[in-house]
């Protein structure tokens, strides 16, 4: 069996250099074999062992390189798969975030639309209320200032107090004029019966009694004499003039 079995050009080149020969890449397999066999240091047994060792080292080196390449390829694929998964996860996260932001924006948009609609409805109701109020006020003013409304009010008032004769109506008008000029203190004193005092005679009697009662507590003064006639509404003595006329 030849010592060169299974040897490559690189193996023969190493063996030739180990034998002390000068070789380069321009030499082919045939040239390298001739150089090795013609070398002074050549010994078949030693060269055979040496050749086997060179081939084994090369084979082991190639296997290591293959393993390293396989490991590197596997690592590259693993890193690529990890990067791909990470990219997909990031895309999914970004897509979920985009959808969430879109949903939030849509909800806010719908809420804004609903709020604008609500404010518009409130404003419309307010305008309708103000319009109705304005119309009612105008209608009220028109009715209040018409002769018919004044006449209607007077008739209702006269019927309410049962003024079924001119004399009663005259008494009511005089009594009302006097009541308008009486102080609030006197009105409060007769609060329970004030609305029932519709006769000038009764009213003057009550006012005289009140003035007498008040004078008793304040100082001893002559009792005031109350007088009235329907043409001049009422007259009083000097004491009444000084105390009450200013109020009436």
- Under DSSP, the state recorded for 223 is P
3-state class of 227 per DSSP? strand
Residues 235 and 228 sit within 8 Å (Cβ to Cβ): yes
Q: Model confidence over 46-56: pLDDT tens digits? A: 778 888 888 88
Q: Model confidence over 202-242: pLDDT tens digits? A: 878 888 888 887 777 666 555 555 444 544 544 444 444 44
Q: Model confidence over 88-120: pLDDT tens digits? A: 999 999 999 999 999 999 999 999 999 999 999
Q: Which is more confident, 208 or 84?
A: 84
CA torsion through residues 10, 12, 13, 14, sign: positive
Domain boundaries, the chain: 9-85, 165-220
pTM, whole model, 2 decimals? 0.35
- pLDDT above 80: residue 43: no
Residues 22 and 8 sit within 8 Å (Cβ to Cβ): no
Residues 171 and 200 sit within 8 Å (Cβ to Cβ): yes
Distance, in Å, from the CA atom of 191 to the CA atom of 185, rounded to the nearest integer, reads 10
What pLDDT is stored for residue 62 in this prediction? 87
Of the pLDDT bands very low, low, confident and very high (cuts 50, 70, 90), residue 148 is low
Length of the chain, in residues? 248
What pLDDT is stored for residue 234 in this prediction? 42
């Amino acid at each position: 069996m030849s010592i060169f079995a299974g040897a490559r050009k690189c193996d023969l080149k190493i063996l030739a250099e180990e034998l002390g020969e000068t070789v380069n890449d321009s030499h082919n397999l045939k040239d390298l074999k001739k150089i090795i066999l013609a070398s002074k240091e050549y010994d078949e047994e030693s060269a055979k062992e040496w050749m086997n060792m060179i081939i084994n080292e090369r084979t082991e080196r190639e296997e290591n390189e293959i393993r390293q390449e396989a490991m590197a390829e596997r690592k590259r694929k693993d890193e690529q798969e990890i990067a791909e998964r990470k990219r997909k996860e990031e895309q999914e996260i970004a897509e979920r975030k985009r959808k969430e932001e879109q949903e939030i924006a849509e909800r806010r948009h719908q809420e804004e639309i609903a709020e604008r609609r609500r404010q518009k409805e409130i404003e419309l109701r307010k305008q309708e209320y103000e319009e109705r109020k304005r119309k009612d006020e105008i209608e009220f003013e028109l009715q209040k200032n018409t002769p018919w409304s004044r006449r209607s009010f007077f008739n209702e008032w006269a019927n309410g107090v049962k003024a079924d004769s001119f004399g009663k109506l005259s008494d009511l008008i005089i009594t009302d004029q006097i009541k308008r000029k009486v102080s609030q203190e006197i009105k409060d004193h007769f609060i329970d019966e004030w609305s029932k005092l519709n006769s000038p005679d009764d009213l003057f009697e009550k006012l005289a009694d009140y003035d007498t009662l008040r004078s008793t507590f304040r100082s001893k003064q002559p009792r005031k004499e109350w007088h009235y006639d329907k043409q001049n509404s009422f007259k009083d003595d000097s004491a009444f003039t000084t105390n009450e006329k200013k109020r009436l």
